[in-house]
A and B are shown apart, each in its own frame.
Chain A
Amino acid sequence: MLNISIFKRVVIILVVVAGLVYAMPNLFYPRVETHNDAVVAIERAGGETTPELEADLSAWPNWLPSSLVNLGLDLRGGAHLLAEVQVQDVYKQRMDSIWQEVFPVLRDARDIVGTIRRVPTEDGTLRVRLGDTTNINDAAQLVRALATPVVTITGTGSTNFTVNVEGDEIVVELSEAEKLATDDRTIQQSLEIIRRRVDEVGTREPTIQRQGEDRILIQVPGLGSADELKALIGTTAQLTFQPVVSRTTDPNQAPGPNNTLMPSIDEEGVYYVLEDVPVVTGEDLVDAQPSFDQNGRPAVNFRFNPHGARLFGDYTAENVGSPFAIVLDNEVISAPRINEHIPGGSGIITGNFNVEESTNLAVLLRAGALPAEMTFLEERTIGPELGADSIAAGEIASVVAFAGVLIFMALSYGWFGIIANIALILNVAMLFGLLSAIGATLTLPGIAGIVLTIGMAVDANVLVFERIREELKNKRGPARAIDLGYEKALSAIIDANITTFLTAGILFIMGSGPVRGFAVTLGLGLITSVFTAIFVTRLIVVIWFERRRPKTLEV
């Protein structure tokens, strides 16, 4: 019964070879990495190459697989941040725009509602106080008519905001459905902006992903520290151009209705009273580049899109002689006087920058503003040397573990032990092949997972060999013993590995970061070890048996 059809043999051998081929690039890690970087660089440059890139490209042949096991942050070094997006920031902006709609409607109904005043709030609601409350319900009805239906999968009939009456105030609040939709949009935008900013810096394989409701995980290998990363993505970079009402040194000055007080970024103790509604915002920017002003000081050149250019041109034409403020994240960078009409939609931001700051600001403005602020819940910096040490230690440990297991197996099972050893080597190679093919990330616990796999991978073979031994003890012939050994050990192998695989699956679903890396190597290791035990060693045993036809068997 020791027959394995030719077809099966070919498939088994092909799978093993494919595993080996995919694992191979990892043996030449630096060369393949140079090659891959060159490929990316050429792609970015739109197909243009330089001699250096060509040289890098030829470090590894194009026709060979070039996917590598990614090294996790703990092995390569780099920065890790877990940011929470303050999604409720956006509610306030939404309320501002709703106010722009509500105000004209109520103003037209002034004869029934009396005076209209917006009450400042901190909780993301819009409160409008009416002078005459007799018709407040009718007024609320007018506001309610402005709400538009929200399209959701479940919610029918819900509108984008709700309107209630509390005392002499009309309270407008975003509906739950609208909040969810807004949150989702905020996170998506934040992800996009962060990705653009990190890409501008141009590091290799950053991880930027959403985690849970309102969190974003950012991992950038090779970056010096989490602080640098924070400087890059921690700034909202909301740029606005706002009309200046007055300048003051009193931080407690009442700015008056529809105005705000903002500090100057450079001049200590100087504050500006600005109009709330900006003339133009950073959203209308199409480009920003670091440059120098006429005095040779670092500055940032910017250009508006046609919409922004028109607004900016019109405003400067009408307000020659009055100052306007360039505001970044609620701080006034500068407040120059408009000397003349500025058509064409380009300008320059000057301030007290050094070259690095102006370059950074340009990057931030180009990438766009984050829709909301972020707080950082978790940050980790791992130095590249520590990562290199960990890899070195992991390598040595793996080699020693490997050697120990190989020797022990050979001593315990003789020739069959050597077959199991071949399978073990193939197993680890295939595990690497699989990890590379799916682009998995190897972390330090992941290395531990591989070492554990080395230890446990022999289990399936041990089960089979012990079973063959038992069958031999029961006076079975060699062929029959081998056959029964595989047949009877199968259910134990399958059950034992499925249960372990289930726990690896749970680890993968619930774990994060390094733990997940461990789950991946453990789970894939189980798959390859079962495959090698029930197909590969069996094939080797069968081929050996067919050639030798031994009369007796010693396992």
Chain B
Amino acid sequence: MRLKLVPDNTNIDFFARSWLSLGFSGAMMVISVVAFLVFGLNFGIDFRGGTTIRTESTQPVDVGAYRDAIAPLGLGDVAISEVFDPSFGPDENVAMVRIQAQDGDEAISVETVQAVEDALTGYDPSITFPSVESVGPKVSGELIWTAIEAVAAAIATVLVYIWLRFEWQFSLGAVIALIHDVTLTIGVFSLFQIQFGLPIIAALLTIVGYSLNDTVVVFDRVRENLRRFKKLDLKEVLNLSINETLSRTFMTSFTTLIALIALFVLGGDVIRNFVFAMIWGVVVGTYSSVFVASAFLLRLGVKRDWSKPDAEAGTQFGNAEN
């Protein structure tokens, strides 16, 4: 007997309520944008400058006492949060101390870090500082732009590639799905105020890659079925293609999620946000390749006349440059 996530020969009509799913996606995107505008993102020091000091102690973390110890130094905004992880033993009490960027372009001075460390050691002699990271405002400003450019460049490249390999309608559908995924990911980070650092950009681009992977597999089947069933309604072709690839879509998402969840639970707190972004992205990306990309493709329509001379364009690998 085989384990099957999806029964054989499904025949689900994915577009019966496409106004509902598109409306839902649209609403989620609006919520994300509003959340972003209202709450903003909880940028890490990579993007807004500042210093984070990781503390570890055998004594329990007392956020209030830490704050009181640092307050006399007058460093401006200081955020302290305790870090929890299943892998920590009873003697491992970890906290993150975040200090806002100080004046000037430079990273924090040695003296300031030393002063903070001395202040904390004064409260709790057993405290150690496994990592200290500091980014000056000059670099962090640039990093934001590089990140935005990277995501934009990725989406643009994909737009061109799919356009070359398929038709422009496919390309547009895929890119709308990507924008949907990226928006929703930024939305969830903004809504729950999860720290948004440089690695999250990597996660965003991975989501772009993953979601695309899914979309392209569906589109590849659509392209094939469009040629096979020349008279069939586009909606039917899309439904057929999605149903045919449904098993694969679930299988791949599932194996990827198994791996990511293992990493989320066991991979330590340092990369947890990063992995969370990817898990969220896999779920959203799988959803969007069916309900957003294909739904848009249906609305945009596809040129069906494959007998025209340029019909070869994008139908066979290797003819991409036609």
Residues of A in contact with B (beta carbons under 8 Å apart):
74, 82, 84, 225-227, 230, 375-383, 385-386, 389-390, 392-394, 396-398, 400-402, 404-405, 408-409, 411-414, 444-445, 447-448, 451-452, 454-456, 458-459, 462-463, 466, 469-470, 473, 488, 490-492, 494-500, 502-504, 506-507, 510-515, 518-519, 522, 554
Of the candidates B3, B205, B245, B259, the one having the most CB atoms from chain A within 10 angstroms of its own CB is B259
Residues on A with beta carbons closer than 8 Å to the beta carbon of B2? 411-414, 554
Kindly state the separation between the CA atoms of A444 and B162 in the bound complex, as whole angstroms: 32
Residues on A with beta carbons closer than 8 Å to the beta carbon of B128? 383
Which residue of chain A lies nearest to B138 when distances are taken between CB atoms in the complex?
A377
Q: Give which listed residue, B3, B202, B266, contacts A397 with CB less than 8 A.
A: B266
Kindly state the separation between the CA atoms of A512 and B147 in the bound complex, as whole angstroms: 10
Indicate if the CB atoms of A494 and B317 lie closer than 8 Å: yes
Indicate if the CB atoms of A514 and B199 lie closer than 8 Å: yes
Q: A497-B213, A507-B205 are in contact. Are A225 and B132 (CB under 8 A)?
A: yes
Q: Which of B19-27, B64-72, B267-275, B300-308 contacts A (4 or more CB under 8 A)?
A: B267-275
Kindly state the separation between the CA atoms of A506 and B259 in the bound complex, as whole angstroms: 24
Which residue of chain B lies nearest to A380 when distances are taken between CB atoms in the complex?
B133
Indicate if the CB atoms of A376 and B136 lie closer than 8 Å: yes
Kindly state the separation between the CA atoms of A9 and B210 in the bound complex, as whole angstroms: 31
B73 close to A (CB within 8 Å): no
8 Å CB contacts to A: which residues of B101-126? 105-108, 110, 113-114
Say how far A215's CB is from chain B's closest CB, in angstroms.
9
Residues on B with beta carbons closer than 8 Å to the beta carbon of A469? 247
B221 close to A (CB within 8 Å): yes
Indicate if the CB atoms of A379 and B107 lie closer than 8 Å: yes
Indicate if the CB atoms of A510 and B149 lie closer than 8 Å: yes
Q: A377-B135, A515-B198 are in contact. Are A386 and B54 (CB under 8 A)?
A: yes
B59 close to A (CB within 8 Å): no
Q: Which of B188-196, B229-237, B248-256 contacts A (4 or more CB under 8 A)?
A: B248-256
Indicate if the CB atoms of B199 and A458 lie closer than 8 Å: no
Indicate if the CB atoms of A466 and B256 lie closer than 8 Å: no
Kindly state the separation between the CA atoms of A383 and B209 in the bound complex, as whole angstroms: 33
Kindly state the separation between the CA atoms of A158 and B80 in the bound complex, as whole angstroms: 56
Indicate if the CB atoms of A496 and B259 lie closer than 8 Å: no
Say how far B86's CB is from chain A's closest CB, in angstroms.
10
Kindly state the separation between the CA atoms of A390 and B214 in the bound complex, as whole angstroms: 31
Q: Give which listed residue, B138, B201, B255, contacts A458 with CB less than 8 A.
A: B255
Residues on A with beta carbons closer than 8 Å to the beta carbon of B271? 390, 444-445, 447-448
Indicate if the CB atoms of A405 and B268 lie closer than 8 Å: no
Kindly state the separation between the CA atoms of A404 and B220 in the bound complex, as whole angstroms: 29
Indicate if the CB atoms of B146 and A510 lie closer than 8 Å: yes
Indicate if the CB atoms of B256 and A491 lie closer than 8 Å: no
Kindly state the separation between the CA atoms of A82 and B221 in the bound complex, as whole angstroms: 48
Residues on A with beta carbons closer than 8 Å to the beta carbon of B136? 376-378
- Render B153-196 as a binary contact track against A, CB cut-off 8 A, 1 for contact: 11001100110010000000000000000000000000000000
B322 close to A (CB within 8 Å): no
8 Å CB contacts to A: which residues of B1-59? 2-5, 8-9, 54
Kindly state the separation between the CA atoms of A448 and B210 in the bound complex, as whole angstroms: 14
Indicate if the CB atoms of A462 and B260 lie closer than 8 Å: no
Given contacts A408-B255, A496-B217, 13 further A-B contacts (CB under 8 A): A376-B136, A377-B136, A397-B266, A397-B268, A445-B271, A452-B260, A452-B278, A470-B244, A496-B213, A499-B212, A500-B209, A506-B153, A507-B205
Q: A455-B259, A470-B244 are in contact. Are A491 and B317 (CB under 8 A)?
A: yes
Residues on A with beta carbons closer than 8 Å to the beta carbon of B154? 502-503, 506-507
Q: A386-B130, A448-B274, A515-B202 are in contact. Are A409 and B255 (CB under 8 A)?
A: yes
Interface of B is mostly: helix
List 20 A-B residue pairs with CB atoms under 8 Å apart, sorted by A's residue number.
Answer: A378-B107, A380-B133, A390-B270, A390-B271, A392-B87, A393-B87, A398-B262, A408-B254, A412-B2, A444-B270, A448-B271, A455-B260, A458-B252, A459-B213, A491-B220, A499-B209, A499-B212, A503-B209, A510-B153, A514-B202
Kindly state the separation between the CA atoms of A499 and B217 in the bound complex, as whole angstroms: 11
Say how far B131's CB is from chain A's closest CB, in angstroms.
5
Residues on A with beta carbons closer than 8 Å to the beta carbon of B278? 448, 452
Indicate if the CB atoms of A376 and B212 lie closer than 8 Å: no
Residues on A with beta carbons closer than 8 Å to the beta carbon of B217? 463, 492, 495-496
Residues on B with beta carbons closer than 8 Å to the beta carbon of A398? 262-263
Which residue of chain B lies nearest to A464 when distances are taken between CB atoms in the complex?
B248
Indicate if the CB atoms of A380 and B139 lie closer than 8 Å: no
Say how far A134's CB is from chain B's closest CB, in angstroms.
46
Residues on B with beta carbons closer than 8 Å to the beta carbon of A227? 110, 113-114
Residues on B with beta carbons closer than 8 Å to the beta carbon of A412? 2-5, 251
